[in-house]
Amino acid sequence: MSDLPETMQFIDHGAGGAAEVLVPASGPVPSPAAGEVLIRVAYAGVNRPDVIQRSGRYPPPPDASPYIGLEVAGEVVALGEGVTQWRVGDPVCALVNGGGYAEYAVAPAGQVLPVPDGLSLLHAAALPENYFTVWTNVFERGRLTAGETFLVHGGSSGIGLTAIQLAKERGATVYTTVGAANKAEVCAKLGADAAINYREQDFVEEIKALTGGNGVNLILDMVGGDYIGRNLKSLALEGRLVQIAFLQGPKVEVDWTPLMTRRLTFTGSTLRPRSGADKAAIARQLREQVWPMLERGHALPVIHQVFPLAQAAEAHRLMESSTHIGKIMLEVAGG
């Protein structure tokens, strides 16, 4: 690392709080430990867990960087001991364990992926968090297969648009919920068979009508709250509900009778606490199953807006407004 600078710019969130706590700061360039690579960051993605961490409600795991940022793309500039699958100079994207809002970030080698042929570093940086999350929850935990029906809430989010496109690519019928007509249009353009405006329609009744009263085979939900009971009513016999967040809260009174009478499955997961081995296994599946789609120009991430790194606070305000469609990104060094 002798040719690298000793210090770098990163975004500090101090003791946490509202978006304005995000400020540029200077600190040492991290060194890759055994099994890690150091990436000179071109772009970093902004994700809902970043907002929750900034607010003080999502502390990082003990062995992770204390700084915010879960996905990056850029160039490998140093290798930790034992890393043989990457070379200095490789263009990559990576799911990092924190510290993505910075000029340099370390990533476990198993969580690093090549930039898909034909994609820019900007689009590559928009892949890891959403595609890791959707793959493991929709196709591994949720077991979605061709010919099944699938409902994803929050269809215009990064997660939602990823889920719509990947599910459609793999032969499912896809429904989604959105809060505005322009969001419904984008979801339909990207493959949703129906986009339900939850401000104007009851998604339970709409799903009943769309499925001839049968319900859907799988639901991916990040809302929680009263959606939990409503989701149970919207599932078909042997249906599966996968929970990945609780934007409206995790505590609610629910009638669990359908769980037994319709033999439903209710499961969920969160990505960050999973082991490096788990994340590396997901990365291998993405490279095998999803990267070929991306290289054909299918199921690509949708970029809503790119902010300079120093404007991370503005990026978080946009995330919290929920007016965006797709990914919010930070430009660090470009590329």
Same domain, 252 and 293: no
Q: 1 in a domain, yes or no?
A: no
Question: In 3D, which of 67, 130, 167, 158 has the Cα closest to residue 271?
Answer: 130
CB atoms within 10 A of CB 28: 11
Handedness of CA 223, 71, 128, 270 (dihedral sign): negative
- With 0-12 / 13-18 / 19 or more C-beta atoms within 10 angstroms meaning exposed / middle / buried, residue 2 is exposed
Same domain, 280 and 250: no
User: What's 297's DSSP letter?
Assistant: T
CA angle 192, 196, 198 (to 5 degrees): 145
According to the model, what pLDDT value does residue 60 have? 87
Q: Are residues 159 and 31 in the same domain?
A: no
- Per-residue confidence (pLDDT) for residue 27, from 0 to 100: 96
Q: Is the pTM of this model over 0.85?
A: yes
Q: Name the 3-class secondary structure at 163.
A: helix
In this structure, are 222 and 144 located in the same domain? Answer: yes
Same domain, 140 and 241: yes
Which pLDDT score, from 0 to 100, does residue 2 have?
54
The torsion defined by the Cα of 114, 119, 120 and 121, in degrees rounded to 10, comes to -30
**Distance separating alpha carbons of residues 334 and 74, to the nearest angstrom:** 9
Joined together, the tokens standing for residue 189 give 């353009």
The residue segments making up the domain with residue 237 are 131-268
CATH number, domain containing residue 296: 3.90.180.10
Counting the structural domains of the chain, the total is 2
2 within some domain: no
Residues β-bridged to residue 76: 39
Q: What are the pLDDT tens digits along the chain (335 aa)?
A: 558 999 999 999 999 999 999 999 999 999 999 999 999 999 999 999 999 999 988 888 888 899 999 999 999 999 999 999 999 999 999 999 999 999 999 999 999 999 999 999 999 999 999 999 999 999 999 999 999 999 999 999 999 999 999 999 999 999 999 999 999 999 999 999 999 999 999 999 999 999 999 999 999 999 999 999 999 999 999 999 999 999 999 999 999 999 999 999 999 999 988 999 999 999 999 999 999 999 999 999 999 999 999 999 999 999 999 999 999 999 999 76
- Residues 116, 228 share a domain: no
- The C-alpha atoms of residue 256 and residue 317 are separated, in whole angstroms, by 37
Backbone angles phi, psi at 210, to 5 degrees: -65, -30
Does residue 247 sit in the same domain as residue 292?
no
Residues 157, 97, single domain; the answer is no
Contact 163, 157 (CB under 8 A): no
The answer to the question of residue 217 being in a domain is yes
Residue 176 lies in a domain: yes
How far from 95 is each of 27, 161, 332, CA to CA, in Å?
Answer: 21, 19, 16
H or E segment and range at residue 71: strand 71-79
Are 158 and 114 in a shared domain?
A: no
Residues 135, 123 share a domain: no
Neighbours of 52 (CB within 10 A): 14
**Final residue of a domain: which of 268, 287, 303?**
268
Domain boundary among 268, 291, 313: 268
Q: 171 and 42, same structural domain?
A: no
Contact 126, 327 (CB under 8 A): yes
pLDDT, tens digit, 9 for 90 and up, residues 133-184: 999 999 999 999 999 999 999 999 999 999 999 999 999 999 999 999 999 9
The three-state secondary structure class of 235 is strand
For residues 185 and 242, state if they share a domain: yes
Residue 326 lies in a domain: yes
Identify the CATH number of the domain in which residue 263 sits: 3.40.50.720
Number of C-beta neighbours around residue 332 at 10 A: 30
Given 268, 287, 313, which residue is the final one in a domain?
Answer: 268
